[in-house]
Amino acid sequence: MKTYSISEVAKELNLTVYTLRYYDKEGLMPFVERTPNGNRLFKESDISALKVIECLKATGMPIKEIKTFIDWCSEGDSTLEQRYKMFLERKANVEAQMEELKKTMEIIQHKCSYYKTAMDGGTEDIHKKEKLAKP
Amino acid sequence: MKTYSISEVAKELNLTVYTLRYYDKEGLMPFVERTPNGNRLFKESDISALKVIECLKATGMPIKEIKTFIDWCSEGDSTLEQRYKMFLERKANVEAQMEELKKTMEIIQHKCSYYKTAMDGGTEDIHKKEKLAKP
DNA sequence: TATAGACTTCGAGTTAACTCTATGGTTTGG
DNA sequence: CCAAACCATAGAGTTAACTCGAAGTCTATA
């Protein structure tokens, strides 16, 4: 079975070796084995697990909470419900983030056209004047 | 014209007074006036500007870059193009974030059903066994 | 008039998530 | 056989974005 060194994994996941070692220090990678002289030896499944960790990070989950999840994984089937609930919560969280981003996007688009008009008119005053109908 | 104290603005924008003062310290609020004895006096337009700042923050823009934008605003019409470009970049950035979130969501949903099945089956092994057809 | 409850500044402290430095152990090619 | 290029650890340093404490000012009310 193919294995990988820390720098290979770092390259594959677009992380630095520092970051990977930091994750390990924080307890996110208890599954990674070592060579006799202590080097980390990553299996394909370890890379998959790291991708899940990256996914959880992308949802905004702090590393301490990700560790809790990893601990649950190590504990086995007795924690299946907790893990399921956690993912449901993450899902709700991501949905909320999407909503938030949508609102943000609307404002940004509004600003884009605001500045387009202002630029074309040569001045921002164009927006102030439009609102006051000439008497 | 109605004005607001720092704590009123904090409440309205769901920020703390500490955060508002921090923003001011960082130069994000050069427009906010003061009472004769030094208290900040927020106008409606200041609150609008703060909402734009919050929007930029929501796009993931760091405070130093937001300050650059605020400085451009203070400089007037000569910076209209820069500001327009900045919003276009922000828009692209938010679009990228949305894409990223979508991918994240797919993995999360996948995990939700993975754990649902595992929970119902009482063990995670259900997923490993499915892949190896019985010989 | 004094106490409470706003507000102010300055600067220190906190937290998360890296990021790096120092030091040292293997392995490998010229 | 030794220098380069990996790997390791421990622990210090960095950065962003707050967050707070101390000390002081102002204003309104009992």
Strand pairing class (B40-43; A33-34): unpaired
Q: In Å, how far are A43, A61, A75, B62, B115 from A31, measured between CA atoms? A: 10, 20, 12, 36, 20
Q: Could you report the per-residue pLDDT of A106-116, keeping only the tens digit for each?
A: 999 999 999 99
Identity of the residue numbered A129: K
Reduced to 3 states, what is the DSSP secondary structure of residue A46?
helix
pLDDT at A107: 98
Nucleotides of D under 7 A from a protein CB: 6-9, 16-20, 25-27
Nearest residue (CA) to C1' of D19: B18
For B91, counting Cβ atoms within 10 Å of its Cβ (0-12 exposed, 13-18 middle, 19+ buried), the class is middle
B106-134 burial string, b = 16+ CB within 10 Å, else e?
ebbeebbebbeebbeeeebeeeeeeeeee
Nearest to A58 by CA among A14, A17, A16: A14
Q: pLDDT band at A129, cuts 50/70/90? A: low
Mean of per-residue pLDDT scores for chain A:
95
Chain A closest-CA separation from residue B68 CA (Å): 16
Closest residue on chain A to B124 (Cα): A77
Q: Which two tokens stand for residue A31?
A: 């599954």
Delimit the domains of chain A by residue range.
Answer: 1-75, 80-135
- Mutation site for A-interface testing, chosen from B87, B91, B124 by largest number of A Cβ within 10 Å: B87
**pLDDT for res A132:** 46
Please list the ranges in chain B whose pLDDT falls under 70.
129-135
pLDDT at A34 over 50: yes
Provide the strand spans (E) within chain B.
3-4, 33-34, 40-43
Would you state the pLDDT for residue B73?
98
CA of A67 to C1' of C19 (A): 21
Q: Would you place residue A133 in the very low, low, confident or very high pLDDT band (cuts 50, 70, 90)? A: very low
Considering the segment(s) A1-75 as one domain, its CATH architecture is Orthogonal Bundle (1.10)
Closest alpha carbon to C1' of D16, residue = B62
Q: What percent of chain A has pLDDT over 90?
A: 93
Using an 8 Å CB-CB cutoff, list chain B residues near A123: 77, 80
Per-residue pLDDT at A130? 52
| Mean pLDDT for the stretch of residues A58-64 | 98
Side-chain-side CA neighbours of residue A78 (13 Å):
3
Q: Cα–Cα distance between B80 and B76 in angstroms, integer?
A: 7
What six digits make up the tokens of A80?
């299946």
How would residue A61 be classed by pLDDT, with cut points 50, 70 and 90?
A: very high
CB contact under 8 A, B112 and A77: no
Smallest CA–C1' separation from B61, nucleotide? D16
Round to a whole number and report the distance in Å from the CA of B34 to the C1' of C6.
15
Report the pLDDT value the prediction gives residue A1, as an integer from 0 to 100.
Answer: 87
Per-residue confidence (pLDDT) for residue B1, from 0 to 100: 87
